[in-house]
Structure 1
Amino acid sequence: MKIQSGKEFKLQREVEYGTPEQNKAVKQIVADIKKEGDAALLRYTERFDGAVLTAAGLRVTEEELQAAYGRVEESFVTAIRAAAANIRVFHARQKRNAWMDLQPDGTILGQIIRPLKRVGVYVPGGKAAYPSSVLMNVIPAQIAGVPEIVMVTPPSTGGTEGIDPYILVAAAEAGVNEIYRVGGAQAVAALAFGTASIAPVDKICGPGNIYVALAKREVYGAVDIDSIAGPSEIVVLAADTAEAAYVAADLLSQAEPDEMASAILVTPSQRLAEAVAAEVERQLSELPREAIARASVDHYGAIIVGESLAEGISVVNRLAPEHLEIVTEDPMGLLGSIENAGAIFLGPYSSGPVGDYFAGPNHIIPTNGTARFSSPVDVDDFIKKSSLIYYSKEALLQDGATIIELARREGLEGHARAIEIRLQNEAKGGDGNGK
């Protein structure tokens, strides 16, 4: 890994908007699904996944879900259940309540909270299967009260109709029983606009490749989406006392999912910088996904040596990383200085995978510096809010002239007259009911 100055460092990675060819391809796929429905969905599934399906064969059966348990280790079932329990406990604390406030003059103001009716969850099945993503998308939606949750995931690579059994078991444990064996931009379009086999949803969430990301952007407005997710990111802010082997392992844990992932160490210690660089090289040679992790480290990895931890914090806030680990003697003491980070891990034992899999907070975290203004997926992503206004006669008589003044200053006479006609009627002794 390159060692460089914090004042000079700039992460050279642009937000993925896709090539012109990719954008054109996605627009065509979305248009075809919208126009042809299942016919286009089956055609693209055969072209891109090599799976020849019928409309009747799109949906995963209950028998397939149960059979998946026989294809995974019992230890995995135990682990996924324990993780799900932690995720439920954490997200349950995020649930909001509707409220109403009765004013002395009889006016009632409030906020009504309702869950979305139907949510689509995309689970990738390309370079790797991510059953943990099933839990992180589904459980917050369930806690929000979403009554219909549908999952799409590609058929296994190689042209079979099967789906990774670990994904199916995670879905079954999370309580999802509406699952379709489709992926890519065509699956996103099917969720957005519906086909004869797949009913449309209100929101699409979940990570995917560039084609999935572009398709989500293309259908946004017809439905809501969670975000346009970029590759994984980690920044480790470490003092000289940090264990180099731990730091290197954590950097590589976030480098291995994608060649475009970024892994960055920020430290005031030249000694630690050199030790971590050596450890990264040593551990890379032993990593099963060495080629991917090495590409990530070579192109988007860095070790930044600054003059102090204070300078390091400035670098962190500028990068606004997805994952931030603080490995110092007093990490809690630095917490108040962190302005931009998706998830913050404090201390040498709070490794990123603790949050990615098990602790409870959501691992779907803002990337590409968007932690400056956005947040991890939570229960709020699956609700909608309605404002409630019940204005009393007394309140309108008191405030009507002010409302009219504001409306006319904006040149909206119709707004002003809607209030004025009521004030005039009341002045004549009307009762607001046409009498």
Structure 2
Amino acid sequence: MTSEVDTASLLSRASQLIDLARAAGADQADAVVVRSHSRSVSVRLGKVEGTEASESDDFSLRVFVGRRVASVSANPGFDLKALAERAVAMAKVSPEDPYATLADAADLASDYPDLDLFDPAEVSTENLANAAMSAEEAALAVKGVSNSSGAGASAGMGGLVLVTSHGFSGSYMGSRFGTSVSVIAGEGTGMERDYDFDSRLFHADLDDPREIGRRAGERVVKRLNPRQVETGSNVTVVFDPRIARGFVGHIAGAINGASVARKTSFLRDRMGQQVLKAGLDITDDPLVVRGSSSRPFDGEGVSGRRLVMIEDGVLKHWFLSTSTAMELGLHTNGRGVRGGTAVSPGSTNLALEPGEVSPEDLIRGVGTGLYVTELIGQGVNMITGEYSRGATGFWIENGELTYPVSEVTIASNLKDMFMRVTPANDIDRKFGVAAPTLAIEGLTLAGR
């Protein structure tokens, strides 16, 4: 993949687009190329079911005529001059947007670090197939596993090229490798399904496929013969780390500046106030070396830095892009994310920082409660914070995981859940959202 990192021609083409847009009457402009190359193999029951390969360089041009803005997209091979003229013509007849502008020149990254995001390793389609088959074979070897839903392996790269009319020109690329497997245990109406996976920037960092398969097999077998539990209130629920990451994602959504500007966040009036249990921090750092969601600059060319978004439980920052920050009367903090032709704020390497107790001791301290390994449904209202999700997992009795549980619903309000959460010390930072095992007190559980 080494040759695919060469972005000089893309930078040149983006620069030409900017010059042509200015010549056509744009006051400001930026041009973006999102590059994506990937290969994947899927297998089931020892046979390759499919192979896929894709390559794309997607160009987007955004132009500003006063406070009027328009964006156009194209694939390689388009006519540069025609695209620029079309974008400017569209902007001239667009309604004014009081927040439409490029980032301030003073905020742009003049130099930026090498975050070691790209692995030049060449992984053949045959090796991808072997990895997927090894994961599936190991999962099927676990006693009690009855079938496979399939396994897969992938290798790819992607990145961003950005040029602006006020002097920014830069690019970065990152690689991504992954292995996953999903298997079934039991028969008939008693079947259960579970999975495991790993995803890394560097191929050598991936977990062994057989280890991934073994974990998937052991997870699904433990879910056999689930029971329902009695309905109750004031139940302590423990979130498995991969469920806890979704919980942290709700926090990120609630402190996203775009949601605050739209008044669709239940935390919109809580800046400077305690929103999370005292002692807890939420951090966001775009500059982690080999970080899953690292980037040397954001989608507008702005330098980012590590922020403690929530410190000792107190809300300190929103995620902000330039236009969102202007709308809120604030200043961007380098969290602009390019999505098609639009820029909106988002997190980078986000983490709910760990506590000091082991997950085993955390569960032991719960005494009686529910350990959740999977959530079902989308019952989260980000305007009010109301939370209601179907759940499966294991019943905690005398501080130990006992029998599997299914067909229950857990409910509360995120505002209350944020104030009652206790983290363990087992955080895994290999994902873009990181969280340890979490215990949350005071939920309502609907069972039989």
Scaled to the shorter chain, the TM-score interval is: under 0.3
TM-score, structure 1 length as denominator?
0.21
TM-score, structure 2 length as denominator?
0.21
Higher helix share: 1
Bigger relative CO (Cα 8 Å, ≥ 6 apart): 1
Higher strand share: 2
- Structure of greater Rg: 1
